[in-house]
Amino acid sequence: MDNQENKSAKTALITGASSGIGQELAKLFAKDGYNLVLVARSTEKLNELGGRFWDEYGVETVVITKDLSEEDAARDVYNQIKEKNITVDILVNDAGVGLYGMFATETDWEKEKSLIHLNVLTTTLLTKLFLKDMVERNEGKILNLASIASITPMPLMAVYAATKSYVYSFTQSLINELKDTNVSVTALLPNATDTDFFNKAGASNTKVTENLDDAAMVAKDAYNALLKGASKVIPGGLGNKAQEIMAYLAPQEAIAQMMRKNMEPKDNTPTEEKSNKAAWAWGIGIAAVVIAGAAVALAYNNSNLVDKARYRYRAGKLKSGADDVYSDVKDSLFSGLDNVKDAVATAKEVVAKARETFASAIS
């Protein structure tokens, strides 16, 4: 592929493109006519994808086989792009890994070091190299794969969650630095998704894998947000939005305990009973947001000016999240189940109450 010969088509570079969210994103770019640079460790899978995209959409694909956890892998990818005279219009930093187990006694340091290198160092250097070119052209977009775990603790995958917190913070800082340019950076914060991630992390038998989001849905929401230049996107519905709100307002100890239970081994509870518990959990969870909101409002009224500014910020977070939650509740696919209908009704009421509480607190 030579951009001098094909100036009309833009190019997207996607790491971790051989499977999961990365592969689904590649499909979306190809369908919209983007030429592709696909980076992963499996040459065979990438070549197969490239052939399929050419046959179905007529787009060109460059395959770069690279283990991005290795030293200088990011710079090598960048140099190969430059040698091929390719202009990367969109960079998708999707490649990433996790590792399951107790940090003190069960996980392996060499694997953790490799994880940190891939999730943090490679993501950072690829962003730095391609972002400089984008800023010089005053055009370009970057999507960084964070996680819903980037805003919560995650016992039993502690190092993974820490790296994703880095990615999220890094992305939000860049957004501010780039606010006067035509370059945008978007953070993708998916919940647990149906990919090979948990299997590779050694966490395939955990409770969280019993309720996974669809990778194609996650990719579609991410793709739309990226093209709009959004600062972040949390794909999916009510549960994911509620989890974000709780992450901002609930005590970190409580969030850590909730996440710990999600990461514990599966139990033998009947599926129907699990569904009933999950349905009511969301109603209770959002009710907890109201309680947290009331606590913040009370604290607000007894705070100094600095603390009041901090609480106003939290109130803004709640209102934004509440709007998303209410929208998702209305369109919930679970509306056909009686027990979830009740939870949805409760959610609507408590979200309205939360907004009322904060409106009076900061007026």
Which residues are identified as catalytic?
160
Residue 96 · residue 16 · CB < 8 Å: yes
Specify burial of residue 75 (Cβ count, 10 A radius: 0-12, 13-18, 19+). Answer: middle
Residue 49 · residue 23 · CB < 8 Å: yes
Residue 176 · residue 157 · CB < 8 Å: no
Return the amino acid letter for 107: T
d(CA 114, CA 120) in angstroms, rounded, equals: 10
d(CA 11, CA 7) in angstroms, rounded, equals: 10
d(CA 351, CA 343) in angstroms, rounded, equals: 12
In sign, the C-alpha dihedral spanning 79, 82, 84, 87 is positive
Give CA 198 to chain center in angstroms: 15
| Residue 42 backbone phi and psi in degrees, to 5 | -100, 100
Return the amino acid letter for 329: V
Strands (E), the chain: 11-15, 35-40, 61-65, 90-93, 140-145, 183-188, 232-233
The enclosing H or E element of 362 equals helix 338-362
Residue 201 · residue 245 · CB < 8 Å: no
Backbone φ/ψ region at 97: left (φ over 0), alpha (ψ -120 to 50), beta = beta
